[in-house]
Amino acid sequence: MDLDEIYRSYADVCFSVAMHVLRAPDDAQDCVHDVFVRVWQNREAYSPERGSLRSFLIACVRNEALTRRRADARHRAIEAREALTETATEFEVADHVERARVRRALDTLPAEQRRALELAYFGGLTHREIASALGEPLGTIKSRLAMALRKLGRELGAQGATS
Amino acid sequence: MSTHLGDELELYALGDLSPEERANVEQHLATCDECVRALADAEETLAHMTSLLPAYRAPRRSALRNLWTMPAARMAIAAAFVVGLLVAAGTLPFITVRPGTTDQDARAQIAMTHAHFEHVQLQPLITGAPAVKVIYARDRSWMYAIADDGRPGYHLYLTAGPGSRQDLGELIAHDGSASLFVEHPPTGNELQLVSNDRILARGMLP
């Protein structure tokens, strides 16, 4: 698989993840490009044991996007709303089956775990911010997030096995 | 490895550890295949969650290859060469440079090395519109548009309000992409990519 093929296969989902974190198309594009090039240049470091290439790239892009946002939080906050509303083009997701499956799996989580995970993943809050928002100790939130992610993984695995 | 990572493995996957915590996790991962596999599982779970995010189409890459392959550091160094561009006080008419593709792109690259510049990604208005990035000097003394489609007939327009749209020129096609370098563009705040009188993509200048 060459870089163009990898880009064609995974750029949309990675761009969507970057957009969710950074909110600005140009920044999201730069982030995705930089990660793809970096991964390609160090491709010998990736092995199948590291997971699927798709999830690996998504994780790399999300972490890079989070790092960039935190490094320039104030600047992003100023630009975010305008950039998103003016220039982003959302398209309809075709995979409704996958969405429904993930929603069902999320619904199996205890409410407090689901809430923490949603605030972290969809809300983009830091663990400390979640603790503050929910009035819980930071350690509790961290444990809750870890448990939520493990349980969600088991549920998705179980649903995948039975569907 | 007798002790495996605990919650910090999932927290690492979620991307909210301090640099020190990340370094500790990565140090362990370097020696523990079992935790690497567990991390892969956690990342796979998070990858499933992307299906619930709003989905966006990524700009196509091929025609932006030159920008892609230019390391960010080189771009930054180029931008840092603040010598100021030879601007003629805004009195010159805008000039579309089209003596030849190579010369045009070379002039754009030279311009980039001599000025601070910004860029804007034009957003497609229709399916199939080419990805277009417009790089421009902060002092607006030049613009350089690149599209990832080598077909002829793409024009770059700049508008400053109703009735004030100006055609900056046709993008010159070459090697599967097209570009246009414009010196001293007129004043305006909206860029449009137009083909056969149809606006395919647009973007706002600050």
Q: What percent of chain B has pLDDT over 70?
A: 77
Q: Choose the weakest-confidence range: A60-64, A138-142, B69-73, B112-116.
A: B69-73
All residues of chain B having their beta carbon less than 8 Å from the beta carbon of residue A86 are 123, 204
Distance CA B62, CA A8 (A): 10
Residue of B nearest to A14 (CA): B58
Q: What is the mean pLDDT of residues B29-37?
A: 88
Residue-wise pLDDT for A7-35, tens only, equals: 888 988 999 999 888 888 888 888 898 88
Q: What is the pLDDT of residue A25?
A: 86
CB contacts under 8 A, B 50-69 vs A, are 50-59, 61-62, 64, 68-69
Distance CA A56, CA A62 (A): 10
Q: What is the mean pLDDT of residues B38-53?
A: 91
Interface-testing mutation among B31, B52, B65, B190, with chain A (most A C-beta atoms within 10 A): B52
The answer to whether the complex's ipTM is over 0.85 is no
CB contacts under 8 A, B 83-142 vs A, are 119-121, 123-124
All residues of chain A having their beta carbon less than 8 Å from the beta carbon of residue B39 are 50-51
Mean of pLDDT over chain A: 81
Q: Where are the strands (E) in chain B, listed by range?
A: 55-56, 95-97, 117-124, 132-137, 142-147, 155-159, 166-170, 172-174, 177-183, 190-195, 198-204
Q: What is the pLDDT of residue A110?
A: 95
Q: What is the pLDDT of residue A1?
A: 67
Distance CA A107, CA B174 (A): 52
Residue-wise pLDDT for B165-206, tens only, equals: 889 999 988 767 788 889 888 888 899 999 988 889 989 888
What is the torsional sign of CA A48, A51, A57, A63? negative
Q: What is the pLDDT of residue A144?
A: 96
Instruction: Tell whether B47 lies on the interface with A, counting CB pairs under 8 A.
Output: yes
Residue-wise pLDDT for B84-139, tens only, equals: 232 233 323 343 433 344 567 777 777 776 777 788 888 888 888 888 888 888 88
Residue of B nearest to A160 (CA): B48
How far away is chain B from the Cα of A13, in angstroms, using its nearest Cα? Answer: 7
Structural domains in chain A, sorted by start: 3-87 (1.10.1740.10), 96-162 (1.10.10.10)
Q: What is the pLDDT of residue B61?
A: 56
Q: What percent of chain A has pLDDT over 70?
A: 82
Higher per-residue pLDDT: B14 or B67: B14
All residues of chain A having their beta carbon less than 8 Å from the beta carbon of residue B15 are 59, 62-63, 66
pLDDT at A123 over 60: yes
Single pTM value for the model: 0.55
Instruction: Tell whether B21 lies on the interface with A, counting CB pairs under 8 A.
Output: no
Q: What percent of chain B has pLDDT over 90?
A: 19
Tell me whether residues B58 and A20 touch, CB distance under 8 A.
no
Higher per-residue pLDDT: B72 or A16: A16
Tell me whether residues A58 and B46 touch, CB distance under 8 A.
yes
Residue of A nearest to B57 (CA): A12
Q: What is the pLDDT of residue A154?
A: 94
How far away is chain A from the Cα of B45, in angstroms, using its nearest Cα? Answer: 5
pLDDT-derived band at B75 (thresholds 50, 70, 90) equals very low
Q: What percent of chain A has pLDDT over 90?
A: 30
Domain ranges of chain B: 7-52, 62-204
Distance CA A20, CA A126 (A): 15
pLDDT at B151 over 90: no
Q: Choose the weakest-confidence range: A43-47, B60-64, B141-145.
A: B60-64
Higher per-residue pLDDT: B147 or A154: A154
Tell me whether residues A88 and B56 touch, CB distance under 8 A.
yes
- Which residues, including other chains, have CB under 8 Å from residue B116's CB and lie 6 or more apart? B79, B82, B137, B138, B139
Tell me whether residues A11 and B51 touch, CB distance under 8 A.
no
Residue of B nearest to A45 (CA): B30
The residue type found at B192 is Q
pLDDT-derived band at B11 (thresholds 50, 70, 90) equals very high
Q: What is the pLDDT of residue B120?
A: 85
Q: What is the pLDDT of residue B72?
A: 42
Mean of pLDDT over chain B: 76
